[in-house]
Structures are given as C-alpha cells and as structure tokens.
Amino acid sequence: MDREPPLRETKGGKMKDGPIRCILLGEFHVVAGSKISCQVPENFITKEVFDSIRTYIIPKPQLQRCILTISNTLGHKVIGYPVRINHVRYQRNFFYFNLCFVFDSWSRTVQYEAVVKKLSEYLLMMEEEGSFLSNAENNGNISNLLGCILHDLNQRHVATIVEGDTTIYLKIGRLKSDPPVVQDHQVPLLCRGFEDTDLDSWDLTTQQVLPFINGINHVARIAAEADVENQLVKSCIQNLVYYGVMQLLPLLKYSNVYMCTRELQKLTRDRTLADECRKYVQLQHAEKVDTVRLPSLFNILQLYSQMTHGVTLRSLCQRLCPRDNNIDERKLVSFGLQHNLIRCINKYPIYTGSIPTPKHKLYTGLNSLDEICCKTGMSPSRIEQEIDMDSNVTVIWK
C-alpha cells in the first residue's frame, strides 16, 4: 500500500491532523511474549520501535479496556486498547491482544480514540464467537480486514466492515477547536434554527438561562436575572457555542463605534441574505411579515456604510433616523455582527500615572470598556466621563 506524504507540524509545536500510518495487532504469545501478529503495511513498525513500546502494547491486566496513547516513540505515536479474554480454551487460560493505530509523532489523535475502542470491541466479539484472532488460519483475513480499514479511514474517514452476519460502521468524528472563553460583558445569541426549540429538550441549567438570552442581555446580567451562579452560566454558554447552537456578540451600546467590513458586499450579491436582513431588522414584527413595509435595502446599506471610525451608533441614529425607515438599529447591529458585515471597535483605557487606584489597575490596555463596566458595575457614560477628566488615562481604539 502506498504511504501518503506526511502532513507537517504546525508552528509552535501544536498538533495537527495526520493520516493513520499503520494498523497493527499485538498479542501475548505464551513463549515469545509480546509480539506483532499482524500489521498493515507490513514491517512498518521495526523491531527496534516495537521493543521500545512492547511493555505498553501488552500492559498489566489493570490497564485492559483502557485507551492508551504512547507518544513520541522514535517518530511515531501509537493509540491502543488492550483487551484480555479469560477462558479455559487458551493455553494459559487467557488471550491478550491490542489493536493499535500508528501515527506520526506530531499528529493529533483524540478523534481516533472512539474508533480504536469500537474496532477492538468488535474484534473481541469475533474472537469470543469463533476464535477469529487466536486461530492462525485467519491471519490472511485479518490482514485484509486491517488493510481495508486503513485505506477507507484515510481516504473517506468512514469504513464499513461486514463479517458474516455482523456489520460494523466506523467513522472519524470531526474535531472542533476549543470554544472561546466566555466573558461577563459578551452577549449570547441563539443561532438560526434553534430559536423555537422546546425548553424541555435542554438540560436544567440551560432551561433556567435560555429565557433571558435575547441578543441584548450580557452574561453577567443573564446570571443575575436567572439567579444562576455566574461560572455555571459561562460553562453552559461555552458548551452551546462549542456545538454551534449559540454565538457570542459584543455588548450593544449607543456609544459604540462600528465599522463595516468587506463582507458587506454580500448584501448586494446575495438576494437571500438581503431578504433575510430586511425581515430581521424590520422595526415591527408581525406574525405574517408585510413585504410592503419591509425596509429598503438602500436604507440598510446606507446605515452600514456610514459606520466608521469616530462615528458612534448614537450619532448615526441622530443623523439618519433609522426608525423613520422602519429599521430597528439594535437588530441592524446584531445582524451585521452575526454575519460579519460589521465589527465593533472597542475602547481600551491605559493608565499612565504612577500611583494607580483600584479602578486604575483595570486600565491596562487589555481590558475593554465593556469588561470594565461589568467588573465595576458602573455605566459606560460614567466611566467615559471619568476617563475624559483624568489626564493620566489614554484611550486606544481597536
């Protein structure tokens, strides 16, 4: 079988997805001890490599039925699931085997763990029913089976095994990146398609929190109104963000400054997106949307295009009066952030004096005005007024 070219390790030593380089079946021989009974492709794992890991291929009985990962083994990374079968038909009244997937040492392998476990449990069942593994006459069948699995998982990320009346399906799950840390000042919003989900289908914490998630309330306020511990609310929202049920938006304030992005062109090119936007930002929502009263795309684009440095949402509303054109400016901002049509430019105060007060210690240039508001419980206007009067505080917009 041709070996695929290796994927390169990312900068900073981070793990990256890579192909399965080899599938091997290790077992305990009553005379030779731990050995490789079958591997695909043949001789991929050399004697030198195997001798360095043989203790972990057939480990102590206490580690059976556990996923074991052996990292940085002479350029390889091995995942195994050792299994011990106790029965009088074997020479020492037991049979010990371990199905292993072999990768490059830099590969991320957590997504393969469930596949290794499922395949091992399947081989266990085959062994118990018909001595599939311990019978030397089946070595050719085992080699063909492992070869097909290796090819299908690398090429299609799925594999189907049919052996007699038994069928098993293997699939490599898509590994998502870790969700962002949820901050007190962020505003959670349910993604499209989940708005009308029955409350009973959620867990208890989500049921308590969900009624207060409206695209306007920030995390700290949701925790207070739902009477749920703040960290528990953050964990709940982080979990929903991970599964694509919810997204996080900046806190909406009329003192905010927004800026349009290149994605704004989509509104003129994508008719479906434009129609969705017109319905979403409509000031009055009826059960049956009146297409005659929908705001015009011209007025929507006019508002978005005027969002730039130095122009607050308040001044924009005073100048263009979006509500006179049947446009809810809050929903306009929300839709723009959801679809990356605009982005929020935040204020980051920096204290340059020598003797900071407790409040000044928050002015590091790393905490945005929204974060400071949530931590101090003060309104943005009051903090901005104090910043304007303090000559030792400089503000960065970014």
CATH number, residue 366: 1.10.10
pLDDT tens digits for range 324-357: 999 999 999 999 999 999 999 988 999 998 888 8
Q: Tell me whether residue 178 is in a domain.
A: no
- Give the per-residue pLDDT at 226: 93
What pLDDT score does 323 carry?
Answer: 92
Q: Are residues 103 and 31 in the same domain?
A: yes
Residue 314: closest CA among 384, 394, 225: 384
Report if residue 179 sits inside a domain. no
Task: Show which of 114, 148, 171 is a domain's final residue.
Answer: 171
150 and 28 in one domain? yes
214, pLDDT greater than 50: yes
- Please tell me the predicted confidence (pLDDT) of residue 238: 92
pLDDT given at position 201: 75
Domain assignment present for 13: no
What pLDDT, on a 0 to 100 scale, did the predictor assign at position 89? 87
**279 and 366 in a common domain:** no
Q: Does residue 319 share a domain with residue 368?
A: no
Check whether residue 380 and residue 261 sit in a common domain. Answer: no
Q: How many Cα atoms are found within 13 Å in the side-chain-facing hemisphere of 181?
A: 3
CATH number, domain at 133? 3.30.450
Query: Quick one: average pLDDT of 253-265?
Result: 91
Q: Specify the pLDDT at position 285.
A: 54
Tens-digit pLDDT profile for residues 40-64: 998 898 888 888 888 888 888 888 8
- Indicate if the pLDDT at residue 85 is higher than 80: yes
298 shares its domain with 375: no
**Do 26 and 116 share a structural domain?**
yes
Q: Are residues 80 and 210 in the same domain?
A: no
Domain annotation covers residue 15:
no
- Domain stop point among 109, 140, 171: 171
- My answer on whether 94 and 52 are in the same domain is yes
Q: How confident is the model at residue 305 (pLDDT cuts 50, 70, 90)?
A: very high
Q: Kindly state whether residue 274 falls inside one of the protein's structural domains.
A: yes
d(CA 24, CA 45): 9
Q: Determine how β-strand 393-397 pairs with β-strand 94-104.
A: unpaired
Section 387-395 average pLDDT: 89
Distances, alpha carbon 80 to alpha carbons 23, 42, 396, in Å: 10, 18, 52
1 in a domain, yes or no?
no
pLDDT for the residue numbered 74: 82
Q: Is 322's pLDDT higher than 50?
A: yes
Cα separation, 15 vs 224, in Å, equals 39
Mean pLDDT calculated for residue range 358-383: 86
Q: Which of 139, 171, 203 finishes a domain?
A: 171
Q: What is the mean pLDDT of residues 317-329?
A: 92
Q: Which DSSP letter does residue 179 get?
A: P
- The CB density around residue 29, as the number of other CB atoms within 10 Å, is 12
Same domain, 26 and 167: yes
**Distance of CA 209 to CAs 178, 321, 360, Å?**
22, 34, 33
Residue 272: which domain range?
Answer: 257-285+292-345
Say if residue 64 is in the same domain as residue 44. yes
Which phi and psi (to 5°) does residue 220 adopt?
-60, -40
In-domain check, residue 267: yes
Overall number of domains in the chain: 4
State whether 29 and 149 are in the same domain: yes
Mean pLDDT computed over 103-128 = 90
Q: Report which of 94, 32, 82, 22 is spatially closest to residue 57, judged by C-alpha positions.
A: 82
In the predicted structure, residue 181 carries a pLDDT above the cut 90? no
Q: Is the pLDDT reported for residue 236 higher than 80?
A: yes
177 part of a folded domain: no
